[in-house]
Amino acid sequence: MAILPLVKAPDPRLKLVSQPVEKVDAALRAFMADMVETMYDAKGIGLAAIQVGVPKRVVVIDLDPQGPESKVLYIVNPELVWSSDEPNTYNEGCLSVPEFWDDVHRPAKIRVRYMDENNKTQEVEADGLFATCLQHEIDHINGLLFIDHLSKLKRNMALRKSAKMKRLEED
């Protein structure tokens, strides 16, 4: 397993719409294991393949990394099939927009269909943090960042901060 380099805003790759995966094979399973290791190393709870520069519709989630409720969910080709009218607001952050958090309004409950790491079609209903995380990661594979849900002023503020941090890391 390896820790992969994170792609950070305003990198244009984060705006790409990721391509579907035909089949989960050994190479994709190994890549997903690297994604999990990368997510844990960065102290995240979700990671989309595009965040490590791979435009595939692949997501990994663990809402309690290395905690007592730790369970990795491998999600390939996720599709939002239902969402509630009831809204929920959650203070979101993102590994690709470091050190910036803000409230994002999303549906409170959702249902997602996806393929798991064994090529089996699954469907899951989610609410709370799980629903927020799923929607956040599905946004990534559709070329959206959580800051795209914010006002233009806040989005520009986040992008400037991220660009500045990126420059500092490169020095």
Residue 123 has a CB neighbour count (10 Å cut-off) of 11
69 given a catalytic annotation: no
How far is the first Cα of the chain from the last one, in angstroms, to the nearest whole number?
A: 27
Give the HSE-up count for residue 73: Cα atoms under 13 Å, Cβ half-sphere: 25
Task: Check whether the bond before 10 is cis (ω within 30° of 0).
Answer: yes
Among 126, 168, 148, 137, which Cα is nearest to 52's? 137
- Among residues 79, 123, 137, 169, the one annotated as catalytic is 137
Q: Which two tokens stand for residue 31?
A: 């890549």
User: Which residues have a catalytic role annotated?
Assistant: 137
